[in-house]
A and B are shown apart, each in its own frame.
Chain A
């Protein structure tokens, strides 16, 4: 590292720290009346939400103003389909603002939409802060996670269609533009993941799935780190990782050959009592593999977000802007690690999926 690099790094960190001082000061002056709750702030950022909230101006003051992108709320109630924009809640998620649509009253309690029972006008809660006089309608809303998933799908389609076009255009199969950026990554997935894990002869059948999963997880991990999208934490959502792990499970189960099933139900090469003992363990193992895939991705990404947000929360917990000098460099450091983690987690998910496919298709060796 040269002296110049060190100088530049130090200046960047200092600049960012000073930048945060202003924000911290603002927040301290504005929000004196209510106690800062780090837990609530972090959970609000990590969870899914209706509408993409970008910034709040003059927080806690008279002229408080939110800037956000409203997204549609689609509900299936007893009266049929009910739709409205999330902006009708006016960024209230404490169940205070009631939206009347299609003969029903709807409130947003901690980013879950409840329909009030007939004749009720306010929400009442039980001890655990769950509404008692409201029920949840079927919710098909385009939340910020769904929205970001569509954005990432559109971006991936654009990247790969233009990469494919660049091959078609060139005469001797030399990629250009985006194609030359994508090619090494595709070759990496093929040579470092597909071939060694599945085997030279069978890897081709699984490449489309491996490539899709790799790029889909990677791009969504990166989107989760961009603050302007308010951390639409898609790959840190258990439903998203559950779906991907379930697809891996289905592919593994359906591509399992005779040898694979034999290893599960009647392990070759061990005595009979051991075979009976191993059978339930192997059957449980069939399900724990995709479950651990699901938890690994979910917990890694969510934990990264929580750490960064917790470091920033320190400024508000200690109520001094000088905490920014400590927490901003730390958050920057974790942020850089998170950029590496985005790629590593996509790699790990793909490698383990390929490993399971390889186990399922392995031929018996005598």
Chain B
């Protein structure tokens, strides 16, 4: 397997991790919003911020893959 192949594999693995993370955040945020609709705005903005933190890890993978290409 070439270095490009390994880089692509790594980016894919990072995407799986971020997918699980964002899925959990989204699911919990939805549940919380259903329980307390009056907190809708606050929950949404903190969910967005948390999603950005998780997503950053996957994007590190993408950047590493682009550099190693």
Which residues of A are in contact with B by a Cβ distance under 8 Å? 39, 192, 292, 295-296, 298-300, 302-303, 344, 347-348, 351-352, 355
Contacts and interface: CB of A to CB of B under 8 A. Distances in A.
Interface string B56-69: 10011011001001
B45 A295 contact: no
Contact of A348 (B49, B62, B69): B49
A352 B49 CA distance: 8
Interface residues of B, number: 12
Contacts of A39: 69
19 contacts: A39-B69, A192-B45, A295-B56, A295-B60, A295-B63, A296-B55, A296-B59, A298-B63, A299-B62, A299-B63, A300-B55, A302-B66, A303-B62, A344-B48, A348-B48, A348-B49, A351-B45, A352-B49, A352-B52
A41 to B, nearest CB: 15
Contacts of A351: 45, 49
Main secondary structure of the interface of B (DSSP, over half): helix
Nearest to A348: B52
A240 to B, nearest CB: 15
Contacts, number: 31
A192 B49 CA distance: 12
A46 B59 CA distance: 16
Contacts of B66: 302
* Residue of B48, B52, B62, B66 with highest tally of chain A CB at under 10 A: B52
A39 B60 CA distance: 20
A39 B55 CA distance: 24
Contacts of B59: 295-296, 299-300, 303
A207 to B, nearest CB: 18
Contacts of A295: 56, 59-60, 63
A39 B69 CA distance: 10
Contacts of B60: 295, 299
A348 B46 CA distance: 10
A292 B56 CA distance: 7
A239 to B, nearest CB: 14
Contacts of B55: 296, 300
Contacts of A296: 52, 55-56, 59
Contacts of A303: 59, 62
A302 B59 CA distance: 10
Nearest to B52: A348
Contacts of B49: 348, 351-352, 355
Contacts of B48: 344, 347-348
Given A295-B59, A296-B52, A351-B49, 5 more contacts: A292-B56, A299-B60, A299-B62, A300-B55, A355-B49
A81 to B, nearest CB: 34
Nearest to A192: B45
A296 B62 CA distance: 11
A298 B48 CA distance: 18
Contacts of B52: 296, 348, 352
A302 B63 CA distance: 10
Contacts of B62: 299, 303
A287 to B, nearest CB: 15
A155 B49 CA distance: 29
